[in-house]
Chain A
Amino acid sequence: MASTATASAPHRVAAPNAETGLWSWITTVDHKRIGIMYGVTAFLFFLMGGVEALIIRAQLAVPENRLIEADTYNQLFSMHALTMIFLALMPLTAALFNYVVPLQIGARDVAFPRLNALSYWIFLFGGLFLNASWFLKAAPNSGWFAYAPITTKAFGPGLNMDFYVLGLQVVGLSSIVASLNFIITIINLRAPGMRLMRMPIFTWMTLVTSVLIVTAMAVFTIAITELLFDRFFGTNFFNTVSAGADPLLWQHLFWMFGHPEVYILIIPILGIVSEVIPTFSRKPLFGYNVMVFSGVLIGWLGWGVWSHHMFAVGLGPIADSFFSLSTMLIAIPTGIKIFNYLGTMWGGSIRYTTAMNFAVAFIVMFTIGGISGVMHAVAPSDLQQTDTYFVVAHIHYVFFGGTVLGLWSGLYYWYPKVFGRLLDEKLGAVHFWGTLIGMNLTFFPMHFLGMFGMARRTWTYSRDLGFNEMNLLATAGAFLIAASTLVFAINLFTAWKRGELAGDNPWGAATLEWSMASPPPVYNFAALPQVHSRMPLWEGDPTKSAGIPHGRVEESTDQITLGGTKVGELHEATETNKMSAHDLGIHLPPPSFWPIVLAFGISLLFGSMIFRQVEGAWHNLWYLSFAGLATVVVSIYAFAFEPGHSH
């Protein structure tokens, strides 16, 4: 990637870039725009999942409530989980991967810009398809882990789980494609001198997450393919009634994916926090190497613990002991990370901005979630907790206290880079305290509810069980979270046009994405940077980097160049950043509409299958699947032979 800045005229005429208007967004292959689209879409899905949660909490606020029907309740808690996991949190991490990783490693885009656009459009269509089930009052209703055989045709004859298998097939494909892209980007598009052990931790954790997605999501794809065949073509994979199928097959396949999935949602956050805490402690990350290795180890161990979700099915002492031990092992690398965050803050000069507040809150809340996780690892104790609200409390401390708080930290941190303006800190404080108090009000009582015997997924409860007060408290907390999230949404929206101008590096951070204008020019780097250490922007600043090892600096600091100029001359480089790609002779891949066409074809192929399950005239619409297949074939050829992209 070195000599690109001075490369001679590209071999083909570059199509115009950086235009505005709807068409430019539809055809864009720019990782920054795709990142923004991911972020906006995922945030809207997050609000939708939040509304679903509020209805659930309203139903549970008082005993023997009849606000919604039991079947609607089933659909709500299933879709709440599916929306939050697959349509909100994973895509929000993908938004940050997309926007930040190429900037952090000194690249001009991801390795395969069109595939990147493809994965976004597949995600969007898949998410819309999954939610279309609401219009038929047939949203998935068997929980996000959809245990067979209750999901087979015999026990779930409606369209509900058909939407599940088809929709997740599409959404899963999107994650796999996106992750392939990130893996290659990180391996292959690093700027000169950006060795693996100089990469920012966020980039490292993106790599680990992507490897997990590429492997684990494949297992899930097969699990839902088998369920799809059972439901659509009458196979016997989960036919426990007459064919002798083992109900444990689904559970094994699902949790082989499901447990890595938990790490898919938390490892990116470990990356975000590893950027935020050093920046606001004005001190390099404590124990960089150990942070990298423990992240890799969490990912690897995450593959060997799936059956701890299945202690209650009676796997026997051998399997239970094995999976207990492997689960407890994970506490070690996770604990190391927590202590290293504390070590980073220790002795630093800390600024409590909203981003930092969320990062610190993450450490505490995630630790609580982690500790109740270790309680589940103990098989006999787990038998007490399985399928109670204790598990609900645990998962929300990990996913909300962990993933969501971490994501908000990341959004406050990188928003100024993306839009050039700072989010309002006063509104940020309201958002932060509201969210933190709200989540503890909501989820902490759930531990007790679980211990008192309240079953998860229960539609309502009798008034004399002693659940009343704590359920009301949890509901109040949920509405507090909702109000704070509304403040956040207002903040995001108003700061976009009216926020305080941020400048290149408002936080004084150390990594490469802060070396350019905010928002960055379309080509990111006018000249690709030469990287000499882990903290390129802190080199030569003894107060921040002295005395603490942060990567070998073989080269003398006089020679340090960044964006083609020496450190300290960054403002001149910024001037260059204002020039257009054409002036600089940088060839960017031209926009393409084939990603959206191909994504549409894939979604049509799977989506139309739903009509196969209905009677009457609508049934014939399933032949649209073949139109989808034809679209896929045509657009793959068009994709492969499109001019302006090498093939």
Chain B
Amino acid sequence: MDHAHALGGHAADPAHIDTATGLDSRKLAFWTFIGSECLLFGSLIATYMAYKGKSLNGPYPHDEMINGHLVKGILNIPLTSFSTFILLMSSVAMVMALNGVQRGKRRDAILYLGATALFGSVFLGCQVYEFTHFYHEGLTLRSNLFGSTFFVLTGFHGAHVTVGVIYMITLLVLAVRGKLGPEKTLNVEIAGLYWHFVDVIWIVIFPLVYLIK
């Protein structure tokens, strides 16, 4: 990311940010980007909500009474609860990594960036397991409205987590090579904003898709 007030050549000095608001342009831009992402996920979630409970045939997300028979729901709440905890843990690790970079503690930074990437990967692993399991149970992109909306919504989120894991690994490599000193705090902070935002989206998706019938 670049910004034109590098014209003044002050970018390396965080105490002297020469902008109209005194705030860094990259961070403002990233928040604006997050704002745009809010609408992206908002529309996907809105689609999911519009079609919630309107599938003409199974598999259904939750237990349903169809013609007096109980049809078991396909969602695996214990597994997803576990992966939800893992994603929250990764957020804690992320904020600790930022803290480490801010204070110039390279070992902390490496440890926690690694932990963030690891937890993110575990979350993705759970999602891959969940998707393949559903596929074998007969829930596909094509099977019904639930399949389409569920896979596209959670898959879109999963794609964001994947990008986040790559982002974290990049920062980890920089940290290991000693190129992530306190002067790079802002870069890590922005990475953190991305990571926490992806977590926040899961905080919305988890109840709406998994917990509420």
Contact B29 A111 (CB under 8 A): yes
> Is A234 part of the contact surface with B, judged by Cβ < 8 Å?
yes
Among B2, B7, B44, B147, contact of A108 (Cβ-Cβ < 8 Å): B7
Complex Cα distance A16/B1, Å? 21
- In A193-221, which residues have CB < 8 Å from any B CB? 194, 214-219, 221
User: Known contacts A221-B40, A229-B148, A234-B141: does B8 contact A7 (CB below 8 Å)?
Assistant: yes
Contact A253 B47 (CB under 8 A): yes
Contact A235 B148 (CB under 8 A): yes
Contact A189 B19 (CB under 8 A): yes
Among A176, A587, A646, contact of B3 (Cβ-Cβ < 8 Å): A646
Mask for A156-197, Cβ within 8 A of B = 1, else 0?
A: 000000000000000000001000110111011111001000
> Is A371 part of the contact surface with B, judged by Cβ < 8 Å?
no
Taking CB atoms, residues of chain B closer than 8 Å to A191 are 20
Taking the nearest CB of chain B, how far is it from the CB of A179, in angstroms?
9
> Is A237 part of the contact surface with B, judged by Cβ < 8 Å?
yes
Taking CB atoms, residues of chain B closer than 8 Å to A229 are 141, 148, 152
Contact A226 B4 (CB under 8 A): no
> Is A35 part of the contact surface with B, judged by Cβ < 8 Å?
no
Taking the nearest CB of chain A, how far is it from the CB of B188, in angstroms?
13
Mask for A222-258, Cβ within 8 A of B = 1, else 0?
A: 1101100100011111000011111001001100100
Contact A2 B35 (CB under 8 A): no
Taking CB atoms, residues of chain A closer than 8 Å to B18 are 1-4
How many A residues touch the partner, as a band?
Answer: 35 or more
Contact A237 B47 (CB under 8 A): yes
Among A2, A233, A640, contact of B1 (Cβ-Cβ < 8 Å): A640
Highest count of chain B CB atoms <10 Å: which of A10, A107, A237, A587: A237
> Is B5 part of the contact surface with A, judged by Cβ < 8 Å?
yes
Among B5, B7, B19, B42, contact of A586 (Cβ-Cβ < 8 Å): B7
Taking CB atoms, residues of chain B closer than 8 Å to A1 are 5, 8, 18-20
> Is A647 part of the contact surface with B, judged by Cβ < 8 Å?
yes
> Is B76 part of the contact surface with A, judged by Cβ < 8 Å?
no
> Is A391 part of the contact surface with B, judged by Cβ < 8 Å?
no
> Is B70 part of the contact surface with A, judged by Cβ < 8 Å?
no
User: Known contacts A180-B29, A229-B148, A235-B152: does B6 contact A645 (CB below 8 Å)?
Assistant: yes
Among B4, B29, B51, B148, contact of A107 (Cβ-Cβ < 8 Å): B4
Mask for B45-81, Cβ within 8 A of A = 1, else 0?
A: 0110011001110000000000000000000000000
Taking CB atoms, residues of chain A closer than 8 Å to B43 are 218-219, 222-223, 253, 256
Contact A112 B2 (CB under 8 A): yes
Contact B2 A113 (CB under 8 A): yes
B45's closest neighbor in chain A, by CB? Answer: A222
A106's closest neighbor in chain B, by CB? Answer: B20
> Is B144 part of the contact surface with A, judged by Cβ < 8 Å?
yes
Taking the nearest CB of chain B, how far is it from the CB of A209, in angstroms?
14
Contact B56 A244 (CB under 8 A): yes
Contact A215 B36 (CB under 8 A): yes
How many B residues touch the partner, as a band?
Answer: 35 or more
Taking the nearest CB of chain B, how far is it from the CB of A522, in angstroms?
12
A246's closest neighbor in chain B, by CB? Answer: B50
Contact B29 A184 (CB under 8 A): yes
Complex Cα distance A46/B10, Å? 42
> Is A589 part of the contact surface with B, judged by Cβ < 8 Å?
yes
Highest count of chain B CB atoms <10 Å: which of A189, A226, A642: A189
User: Known contacts A219-B43, A246-B50: does B28 contact A188 (CB below 8 Å)?
Assistant: yes
User: Known contacts A180-B36, A233-B141: does B55 contact A646 (CB below 8 Å)?
Assistant: no
Taking CB atoms, residues of chain B closer than 8 Å to A218 are 36-40, 42-43
Taking CB atoms, residues of chain B closer than 8 Å to A185 are 4
Complex Cα distance A236/B40, Å? 19
Taking CB atoms, residues of chain A closer than 8 Å to B7 are 4, 108-109, 586-589
Taking CB atoms, residues of chain A closer than 8 Å to B5 are 1, 4, 111, 188-189
Contact A235 B142 (CB under 8 A): yes
Taking CB atoms, residues of chain B closer than 8 Å to A243 are 55-56, 144-145, 148
Highest count of chain A CB atoms <10 Å: which of B4, B11, B37, B170: B4
A223's closest neighbor in chain B, by CB? Answer: B43
A581's closest neighbor in chain B, by CB? Answer: B7
Contact B21 A187 (CB under 8 A): yes
Complex Cα distance A168/B206, Å? 31
Taking the nearest CB of chain B, how far is it from the CB of A588, in angstroms?
6
> Is A556 part of the contact surface with B, judged by Cβ < 8 Å?
no
Among A180, A216, A646, contact of B11 (Cβ-Cβ < 8 Å): A646
> Is B176 part of the contact surface with A, judged by Cβ < 8 Å?
no
- In B11-45, which residues have CB < 8 Å from any A CB? 11-12, 18-21, 23, 25, 28-29, 32-33, 35-40, 42-44
> Is A552 part of the contact surface with B, judged by Cβ < 8 Å?
no
Contact B33 A249 (CB under 8 A): no
Highest count of chain B CB atoms <10 Å: which of A184, A187, A223: A184
Contact B29 A235 (CB under 8 A): no
Contact B1 A647 (CB under 8 A): yes
Taking CB atoms, residues of chain B closer than 8 Å to A236 are 142, 144-145, 147-148
> Is A8 part of the contact surface with B, judged by Cβ < 8 Å?
yes
Taking CB atoms, residues of chain A closer than 8 Å to B20 are 1, 187-191, 194
Complex Cα distance A396/B147, Å? 42
Among B33, B47, B145, B148, contact of A222 (Cβ-Cβ < 8 Å): B47
Q: Which 9 A-B pairs have the closest CB atoms?
A: A645-B2, A218-B39, A222-B43, A646-B11, A235-B148, A190-B20, A4-B8, A109-B4, A646-B6
A-B contact pairs, 10 of them (CB 8 A): A1-B18, A11-B9, A108-B4, A112-B1, A112-B4, A188-B20, A189-B5, A218-B42, A246-B51, A646-B11
What would 17 more interface pairs be, CB under 8 Å, given A234-B141, A246-B51, A589-B7? A1-B5, A8-B9, A110-B4, A112-B3, A187-B21, A188-B20, A188-B21, A189-B20, A190-B20, A218-B37, A219-B39, A222-B44, A233-B142, A236-B142, A236-B148, A237-B47, A253-B46
